[in-house]
Structures are given as structure tokens and as C-alpha cells.
Amino acid sequence: MRRGRGFFLGAGLTLGCLLGLTATPLLAQQPAAGDATRGKELSYTCLGCHGIDGYKNAYPMYSVPKLEGQHPEYLAAALTGYRDGDRAHLTMHSQASTLSDQDIQDIATFFAGKPLTAAATKPAAPPQSVALCTSCHGADGVAIAPAYPSLAGQHADYIVRALDEYKNGGRKNPIMKGFAANLKDADIGVIAHYFSTLQPGLKTEHRPYTSLGQ
């Protein structure tokens, strides 16, 4: 992808971390730690969707996810899923298809900013249909590990869309597919509402610079 070409990030689960410089050729090929400055150069036009509060995916219509505060490891895994076809979104796949692993690391680092941390005050006990979700995504919506997405403050309709895709095969993560398979629409609505109201939460990016880097 040419520098500056945009993409729409949806919200995939794990990204393995392999360390070492000379142990094996495979390890040597792993991307370096993300460079937020390079990520900014690669992805500034993404803010045409992810930098506008309440911006909607056109069809089907649902809110483009908030990214600021998300774990960069999760964002990298999600973008890799779009690139590799594990997530079904034609625009995302076409935009991500030419990104290298290092491009993805840099873009994810830029968009994540400073990941969320849990509030000192714990929320009330979640509804029964949410309880299983909190084992990975946290009762306060802050994920317990970087491989999982934080959900606090995320758009409710985006969470609904993501769960529907796991349930119906649009996203192929086998763990999430298993969890979502038995969810009723009412359960999905409760889950989405619960996490979307938690604070501190994810935010829409606001980066007031132009295509000329100003």
C-alpha cells in the first residue's frame, strides 16, 4: 500500500510475539516494535472514518469503532485478520492486502496511543449474560491481556455487529465463534449496552493534521 493510503479498522484476537535477532530465520523476519511516527505517515487518511465521532459504515450501517486506548497488539491482530481473510469486510481486506507486518505494527501503535487502564472504582456486578465475557474483556471493559480487545466505551452497535459476525462466520476466530454461537439477540444487546457505558472508555481519534503532515 502506498504511504498515506487509508483503511477502515474494524475491531481478531491473538498476535504472537516472537523475540530474538539471530535464533532462526523465522524470528529474524518478525516486525520490530511499532513506530507511531511511521504509523501516522502510513495511515493519516484513516481518520476520514476513525477520526469522526459517530461515523457509520455505509452498508450494513453501524458505527466505525473507536480505536484510541485499544491495545496495539489487538489492533495489529485485527488488521492482520482483514488482510488475510479471517475477517470478512471487502473494503478492509482490499486496503490491508498490501500491508507488511511492519506496516501493521506501526499503524496499530499509532492508533492505540496510550492503552486504557482500569478505574480505581470497580463497576457493579455485570448482568448474567455478560459474566462470561468479563473473563477476557474485564468487568470494567479493560481487557486482561493485550491479545484481547478492551470494550469500555466502544459503540454499542459496533459490538453488536462484531458478535453477529463471530456468530455467523464473518469473523473466524474459533474461540469467539464458540462463545457467540449460543447468544440470543437479547443477550447480544445486553452485552453491547453494558460495555458501551463503561468509563474510562475508548475514544475516537482526533488528529488535526493534513495530508501534507501539518
pLDDT digits (tens, 9 = 90+) for 127-157: 999 999 999 999 999 999 999 999 999 999 9
> Is 109 a member of any domain?
yes
> Is 204 a member of any domain?
no
| HSE value, Cβ hemisphere, 13 Å, CA-based, for 109 | 18
| Among the listed residues 170, 173, 195, 161, the one whose alpha carbon sits nearest the alpha carbon of residue 74 | 173
pTM of the model: 0.78
> Is 157 a member of any domain?
yes
How many C-beta neighbours within 10 Å does residue 86 have? 17
> Is 14 a member of any domain?
no
Distance of CA 15 to the CA centre of its chain: 12
Using the 8-state DSSP alphabet, how is residue 113 labeled? Answer: -
Average pLDDT value over all residues in the chain: 81
> By CB neighbour count within 10 A (0-12 exposed, 13-18 middle, 19+ buried), where does 200 fall?
middle
pLDDT at 13 over 70: no
Domain containing 179: what range? 25-116+125-196
State the first-to-last Cα distance of the chain, in angstroms, to the nearest integer: 22
> Which amino acid belongs to residue 195?
F
Predicted local confidence at residue 206, as pLDDT: 74
> Is 141 a member of any domain?
yes
Q: Give percent above pLDDT 90 in the chain.
A: 50
Q: Tens digits of per-residue pLDDT, 181-194?
A: 999 999 999 999 99
CATH number at residue 176: 1.10.760.10
Predicted local confidence at residue 155, as pLDDT: 97
Predicted local confidence at residue 99, as pLDDT: 86
The confidence band for 36, taking pLDDT boundaries of 50, 70 and 90, is: very high
> Is 183 a member of any domain?
yes
> Is 149 a member of any domain?
yes
> Is 17 a member of any domain?
no
Domains contained in the chain, number: 1
